[in-house]
Chain A
Amino acid sequence: MRAEDLFEAIGELDEQLVALSEEDGQRARKTRDTRDYQKEVKRKRKKRAELYRFAAIAMTTAAAVFAVLMARDLLTARSRSYSQTAAETAYADSAAESVQDAAPGVLASGAAPDQESAAMEPDADTAAKSAAAKEAEAAESAGEAEEDAVSDKVEENAVADAAEEIGEAAEEIAEAEESLRSGDTGKTAVDLLGDLKGGYVKLEFISAQDAANGGETSVPEYSKEREEALSSALQNGQKRAAMFTDEGAPIYYVYLTRTDGKVDIVTFYEKGYVSMNTVPGVVLKLSDEAFAAVMEVFEE
């Protein structure tokens, strides 16, 4: 039997067997195709998931970066607004100081206007120059503020406030200049307190005797020596409890007027003690030299 005979005999295989084998082959192919398809679907799904993940990460990162940039911009704008406001406030304060410096001249004009005016003229010039420079700076700041207001709404309110403050400062400067022009400037009696001046704007005194007789208060003249005497005496006095001391009788009352109009009273006693109505229970003991120097201030 040759191979060809065998091949021919196989050709006579039962049709059922042939069909069965074919179906098996087709099933195998179908299974393979299905598996391939499933693999492909899985691969596509995985790729899609990966893409989605990358997209999500990218979007989150972009959002975070955006948020950080926004926050930074806001903070920068706010800090710029704050610094601008602070600068303008400082400027306004300095202008107010100038006004305060100038104002005592008005108060003291009754005492010796010509003399004080002459003494304060160089200072007035300097203050005027400084005020003009500050005004120029203020104008510049206002210009910048306007530009920022256009570009950033967040700064709008701050700029408006700043402009208002600048306006007020400008008014105060104008008043100060007017005051300087009239010559009402220079240190006054309240400056005798030196570093203790604080918020006081006026200093008057009266002896206990005059006070008892319904006399009027007096305003001492300012001089460097008197300031030295009064301020150093008050600064170097030793604190004592009032209940353990015998101050003696009061000899002078000093009235200190605050900016809001309230008046504090400092009392000098004959035994070298000083008390203040706002600090009850405590007295200051001045040295004999200091006490004597202070008495010279009041004994004109």
Chain B
Amino acid sequence: MEDTAIIDLYWRRNERAIEETDRKYGNYCYTVADNILMNREDSEECVSDTWLRAWNSMPPQRPGILRAFLAKITRNLAFDRYRARKAAKRGNGAMEAVLEELAECADPSGSWNAEAAYEAKELREAINRFAENLPERERGLFVRRYFFAEEISSIAKRYQMTENNVTVSLSRIRKKLRKGLTEGGFIA
């Protein structure tokens, strides 16, 4: 079924919308969640939560790209679940690695307040601009690693690069991001 037809079902509040979404994007969303959670049960629950969140979002939202819209919901839900699990000391190595890498671009001692809606919005816009300005290949690597939290080996296979090459490229991207965030005043 076409994405527009599925979105229409959501808007008509037809429960078949979830059935069709699960049929078309079930595996995809499960993969996104599993990249972060690395746990089958948690990932399946995360996917179910995604369908609920999508049901509640449409309407009023009418996503341009349903696939990316669902990936975003799944990813954020998975990350929330990850944080909750981490609080309960049940973290996993893969996500830890991603956060460690991103820590290079963060400033835990800074005065930045993530709770402040204004600053959060500013940061999202800065990251979007940064991603937009990246060359195609680097943007792909950035999204794969820091949006989908994909493994280095998987990215290397997808882009036909060596793992070492991917690691080096990601390191350069992070340097650029840090520079951008510094210039934007998000970090010192």
Contact = CB atoms under 8 A, between A and B. Distances in A.
Nearest to A12: B124
Contacts of B65: 15-16, 18-19
A13 B127 contact: yes
A5 B126 CA distance: 14
Interface stretch (A21-29, A230-238, A239-247): A21-29
B186 A22 contact: no
Contact of B143 (A5, A6, A8, A21): A21
Given A3-B99, A9-B127, A28-B158, A15 B64 contact: yes
Interface in B85-121: 98-103, 105-108, 110, 112, 114, 120
A279 interface: no
Interface string B148-169: 0000000000111000000000
Contacts, number: 116
B68 interface: yes
Contacts of B128: 13-14, 17
Interface stretch (B4-12, B18-26, B43-51, B131-139): B131-139
Give the interface SS of chain B, mostly helix, strand, loop or mixed: helix
Choose among A10, A18, A22, A31 the residue with the greatest number of B CB atoms under 10 Å from its CB: A10
A25 B103 contact: no
A181 interface: no
Given A1-B106, A7-B79, A17 B99 contact: no
A214 interface: no
B55 interface: no
A216 interface: no
A3 B140 contact: no
Contact of B98 (A7, A9, A15, A24): A7
Interface residues of B, number: 47
A107 B102 CA distance: 136
A18 B143 contact: yes
Interface of B: 63-65, 67-69, 71-72, 75-76, 79, 83, 98-103, 105-108, 110, 112, 114, 120, 123-124, 127-128, 131-132, 136-137, 139-140, 142-144, 146-147, 158-160, 181, 186-187
18 contacts: A1-B106, A1-B112, A5-B106, A7-B98, A8-B114, A10-B147, A11-B72, A13-B131, A15-B63, A18-B143, A18-B147, A21-B139, A21-B142, A25-B144, A25-B158, A28-B158, A31-B160, A32-B160
The 10 closest A-B pairs by CB, nearest first: A21-B143, A15-B68, A1-B112, A3-B103, A3-B102, A5-B114, A18-B68, A12-B124, A24-B140, A19-B68
Given A5-B123, A13-B72, 5 more contacts: A3-B105, A9-B120, A10-B147, A18-B68, A18-B72
